[in-house]
Amino acid sequence: MKNNMNILIIGDIIGKSGRNAIKKAIKSIKKDYKIDLIIANGENLAHGIGMTQKTYKEMLDENIDFFTTGNHILKKPDIFPEMEKKNTKIIRPANFPPGNPGIGYQVISKKGKKILIINLIGRIFFKHDYDCPFRKIDEILDKYKKTKLDGIIVDFHAEATSEKIAMKHYLDGRISILVGTHTHVPTADAEITKEGLAYITDIGMVGPTDSVIGVEKENIINSFLKQTNFKLEVASGRCIFNAVIIELTGRTTSKSIELIQTIID
């Protein structure tokens, strides 16, 4: 068994367009890069907002091992039974207020390694009053401080770049991977820090290029022009596939991070 682990982390998958792009791209990427573990953000799987049993199982069939989510995951109650299972493969932000369905972190076993995966959500620019993600991550890491782990991965689903970068400095030397999701736009700051943390502010999305972050562009443009609500309609056509490949080396260290960006016709 090799010591290191190649992990593919995929940005927000947007509706049917994104799911179709996954079907076209993921098998060759897994083979070409010798991927050991695939994680994706699935909060936009079902027509751009939320997740259903059907869309979840559709993506499981494409060899995605585990799903993080974000602010939209509670929009479709159909998925709640899967979120409540003991060995669930779907987590929601851990700093959602108490009483919400699901859990915010999970230890999984893959290729003989134990990986702790944690989901957090930011507070800046969101209308809901989420619990503090910084205090919540402290609580979770303290719970697992004596547990033997081969890696700790955090998906920070947040809007503000400053909040994500602050979290990078807060967790440097304490976890192995911190990726940002939510904006659907990839950032150009992938790095391995001095302490060995693999980091990127936002992975981006798997969704249609001829759109506004995955949504029909005319609807969004009209909402800006007229200051009215818009209909959330996932666009069609060719897609951008955004993901990162990270070589994980230990509980708090990674060796490399590479942004994967390709057009899927």
Which of the residues are catalytic? 72
CA distance 265 to 21: 8
Query: Token digits for 188?
Result: 């150009």
What region, left, alpha or beta, does residue 140 occupy, with left being phi > 0 and alpha being psi -120 to 50 degrees? alpha
SS3 at position 20: helix
| Long-range contacts of 124-131, Cβ-Cβ distance < 8 Å, separation of 24 or more | 124/158, 124/159, 124/160, 124/162, 124/163, 125/159, 125/160, 126/71, 126/159, 128/71, 129/97, 130/93, 130/95, 130/96, 130/97, 131/95, 131/96, 131/97
